[in-house]
Structure 1
């Protein structure tokens, strides 16, 4: 359960205040904690989204590379022009043409944003800071349940929000889950803020333990 000590009073103008403001996209709050799970477990969990996103990235690249053949377009790379090939097509080809368009719409509208988010977030965090014995984890209230909770009356929303905080900082939950797996209901993992938080720690501005189980 959340304790008064879990709620941080951050001085206006402080480095931590600037960090929180920088990564607050309008959601208004953060939960932080320190992930002390074994590095081997962190690597194993990371490989799951890494593999999934690698497969999607490969599919996106394949669809992009094969587009000229799929849509019968010859690309003149140096001229920068696109010219359609003129040849007779059987009626059935139009069916597959439309199917390919629908597939590409799905790939580029839904899969590409997921891969982009992973590369700029989780993957970039690992490239910059690697896997550490103790890692800073930020979460923000933008999880899958946020949309449904926003529709609740104010009193019910506040109750659900409070319950989600208790659940998110439950000691047993945090001790048995790697940071990536602490996405739960109302809360999603934020990857850009920890990079700045690590910098504050490295510069000696903030102690690492400062980020343990805190609500902002």
Structure 2
């Protein structure tokens, strides 16, 4: 992804020496792909349950890998083939098995035990947790022929899918998806250290896309994009979902929230901190009911219009 000049009225530029710019500079890769951030306000009980599912999954993976390694060694030792043939065959099979095990562990158990478990040991489970990942390298960019609002909508959809909690690698079944993703644990841990020092506020990491151009960092605040999320079919699906969950009152809260964020990009209007507080209050209302606001929209967008992501 990249932030274009046409989006300038919806983009903030960070001073070079700002704590957030320095934080992301420490962890950005050589391709300067940037980062996507969001805040997970789902109930702590939900976070604990998700962690336990991931723990069981990864313990199962480690046990399976251990058993596979054991039977491979036993098979090699008890092989009755001629030594000249058996040796080359065993080496070939063992290399293939080792490579498969390495790929499996690298994408599942290694980040879980050295990333997720370390994160939980140091910081436990919090009402508001930080989610940071790098944008997928395979993401296709919105066409330059689209209007600014259309391009922003595409960015919103791409980023929402990129941080879909259902596709997080530690969830059972997510590893079977080609779109599974892994948290940037080193960046998340560094972020918590900066928060403890009071260098910035956790609210600064609301759903946003961060990109480095030269030595300067810019942030496209995707959480402000409610005024362009006006696809009527998706709004109906959103209302239907909340109704089925017995949370119809949340739809009224959402309806009241959208006008508060309604300002056209052509006006050059700069939204006030009170609007961010209003957004946070709405998301907190969903969280208290056990629902992740952005995850709901991710699911609806994925079900209704997958073609928008290509």
The answer for the alignment partner of 1:36 in structure 2 is 41
- Matched residue of 2:183: which SS? strand
2:98 to 101, 105, 112: 105
| Distance in 1 separating the partners of 2:34 and 2:180 | 12
The answer for the alignment partner of 2:68 in structure 1 is 63
2:16 to 12, 16, 33: 12
**What is the Cα deviation at residue 206 of structure 1?**
1.1
- 1:166 pairs with 2:178: no
Residues 181 and 9 of structure 1: is their aligned pair in 2 closer, same or farther, counting only changes over 3 Å? farther
The answer for the alignment partner of 2:117 in structure 1 is 123
**What is the Cα deviation at residue 168 of structure 1?**
5.4
Residues 186 and 65 of structure 1: is their aligned pair in 2 closer, same or farther, counting only changes over 3 Å? closer
Between stretches 195-204 and 113-122, larger displacement belongs to: 113-122
Mapped contact 2:133–2:184 kept (Cα < 8 A): yes
Structure 2: gaps of 5 or more residues: 1-6, 169-177, 211-310
- Matched residue of 1:121: which SS? helix
**What is the Cα deviation at residue 90 of structure 1?**
5.5
Mapped contact 1:164–1:186 kept (Cα < 8 A): no
| Distance in 1 separating the partners of 2:130 and 2:139 | 28
The answer to which structure, 1 or 2, has the higher relative contact order (CA under 8 A, 6+ apart) is 1
Residues 70 and 187 of structure 1: is their aligned pair in 2 closer, same or farther, counting only changes over 3 Å? closer
The answer for the alignment partner of 2:296 in structure 1 is none
Mapped contact 1:27–1:141 kept (Cα < 8 A): no
Number of residue-to-residue matches in the alignment = 187
Mapped contact 1:182–1:189 kept (Cα < 8 A): no
| Distance in 2 separating the partners of 1:8 and 1:182 | 29
The answer for the alignment partner of 1:181 in structure 2 is 166
| Distance in 2 separating the partners of 1:110 and 1:205 | 37
Residues 32 and 53 of structure 1: is their aligned pair in 2 closer, same or farther, counting only changes over 3 Å? same
The TM-score with structure 1 as length reference comes to 0.65
The answer for the alignment partner of 1:200 in structure 2 is 194
- Over residues 173-211 of structure 1, what are the superposed CA-to-partner deviations in whole Å (9 max), with x where a residue is unaligned? 9xxx9x743759697632221111111111111112121
Residues 182 and 168 of structure 1: is their aligned pair in 2 closer, same or farther, counting only changes over 3 Å? farther
Structure 1: gaps of 5 or more residues: 73-86
**What is the Cα deviation at residue 39 of structure 1?**
0.5
Mapped contact 1:33–1:212 kept (Cα < 8 A): yes
- Matched residue of 1:12: which SS? coil
1:135 to 129, 132, 144: 129
- Over residues 132-171 of structure 1, what are the superposed CA-to-partner deviations in whole Å (9 max), with x where a residue is unaligned? 11111113212xxx4363xx89758xx998555312566x
Residues 7 and 161 of structure 1: is their aligned pair in 2 closer, same or farther, counting only changes over 3 Å? same
- Matched residue of 1:189: which SS? coil
Give the number of the structure whose residues are more often helix, by fraction: 2
The TM-score with structure 2 as length reference comes to 0.48
